[in-house]
């Protein structure tokens, strides 16, 4: 088999391998999209849980305040009853101060309770929005899962056909050349053989030495780019165009 034939077989094989990679990337992209949607759902759930806990804390704190208000109100009533029976001005002033302090404390508690109620109402509104978003995202995920599964099945069938074709093509490439190709394909992102146009390697876009370019034009042996180490072949300008 001539060098030209070897190069032609390698190019055919590489085109098949790149198509297989494209199909694999298609499946991977679908899975990435599913993972992104699943993560978004988890984020929604975490946010809903955090907001629900915040709501419960507000309710618990409001309950504490209401109980404290009731207790303070009872103390105020007790002080008001006692003030009718005081014997001294000093005791009278002391009870008055306790009553006013109690009323002020209750006013502060009531203000805080109102703020907490407003916060609960705000959280309830956000929770409703978040639950709607979660429900919509879960529905979209289910639809996307079905879509990706169908696409993956189609791609796998297409990939299977191509891989059978690859086996047949690989058998036509000399064993030593094939081993070299496979090694470079793994190391060079799927591209093991590239064209050289006007002395420039199209794999790394670097100039190869003039003498090497002359040898490449003679096509006596399969040469390797000194920069990117890919196998090379001469590519006429009209083919590039």
pLDDT tens across 152-169, in order? 999 999 999 999 999 999
Q: What are phi and psi of 233, to 5 degrees?
A: -145, 155
Q: What is the pLDDT of residues 11-58, one digit of tens each?
A: 999 999 999 999 999 999 999 999 999 999 999 999 999 999 999 999
Q: Tell me, what's the pLDDT at 85?
A: 86
Q: What is the DSSP string of the chain?
A: --HHHHHHHHHHHHHHHHHHHHHHHHHHHHHHHHHHHHHHHHHHHHHHHHHHHHHHHHHHHHHHHHHHHHHHHHHHHHHHHHHTT--SHHHHHHHHHHHHHHHHHHHHHHHHHHHHHHHHHHHHHHHHHHHHHHHHHHHHHHHHHHHHHHHHHHHHHHHHHHHHHHHHHHTTS-HHHHHHHHHHHHHTTT--EEEEETTEETTT--BPPHHHHHHHHHT-S--B-TTT--EEEE--HHHH-
Q: Is the pLDDT of residue 190 over 70?
A: yes
Give the model's confidence band at 241: pLDDT under 50 very low, under 70 low, under 90 confident, else very high. very low
> Whole-model pTM above 0.75?
no
Those residues whose C-beta lies under 8 Å from the C-beta of residue 66, and which sit 6 or more positions away, are 113
The reply to whether CATH 1.10.287.1490 applies to domain 16-170 is yes
The fraction of the chain above a pLDDT of 70, given in percent, is: 98
Residue 229 has pLDDT above 70, yes or no: yes
User: Residue 4: which pLDDT band, with cuts at 50, 70 and 90?
Assistant: confident
Q: Report the C-alpha gap between 103 and 84 in whole angstroms.
A: 18
Confidence band for 86, pLDDT divided at 50, 70 and 90: confident
Q: Where in the chain is the domain with CATH 1.10.287.1490?
A: 16-170
pLDDT at 1: 53
18, β-bridge pairs:
none
């Amino acid at each position: 088999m001539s060098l030209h034939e070897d190069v032609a077989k390698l190019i055919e094989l590489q085109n098949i391998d790149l198509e297989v990679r494209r199909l694999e990337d298609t499946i991977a992209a679908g899975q990435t999209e599913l993972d992104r949607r699943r993560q978004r759902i988890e984020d929604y759930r975490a946010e809903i849980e955090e907001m629900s806990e915040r709501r419960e804390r507000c309710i618990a704190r409001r309950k504490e305040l209401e109980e404290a208000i009731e207790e303070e109100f009872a103390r105020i009533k007790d002080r008001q009853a006692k003030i009718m029976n005081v014997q001294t001005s000093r005791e009278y002033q002391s009870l008055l101060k306790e009553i006013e302090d109690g009323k002020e404390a209750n006013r502060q508690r009531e203000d805080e309770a109102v703020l907490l109620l407003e916060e609960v109402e705000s959280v309830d509104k956000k929770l409703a929005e978040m639950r709607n978003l979660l429900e919509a995202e879960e529905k979209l995920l289910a639809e996307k899962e079905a879509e990706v599964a169908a696409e993956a099945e189609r791609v796998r069938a297409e990939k299977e056909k191509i891989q059978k074709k690859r086996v047949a093509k690989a058998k036509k490439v000399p064993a030593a050349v094939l081993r070299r190709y496979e090694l470079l394909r793994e190391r060079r992102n799927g591209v093991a053989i590239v064209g050289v146009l006007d002395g420039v390697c199209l794999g790394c876009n670097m100039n190869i030495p003039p003498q090497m370019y002359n040898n490449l034009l003679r096509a006596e042996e399969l040469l390797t780019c000194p920069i990117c180490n890919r196998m090379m072949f001469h590519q006429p300008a009209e083919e590039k165009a």
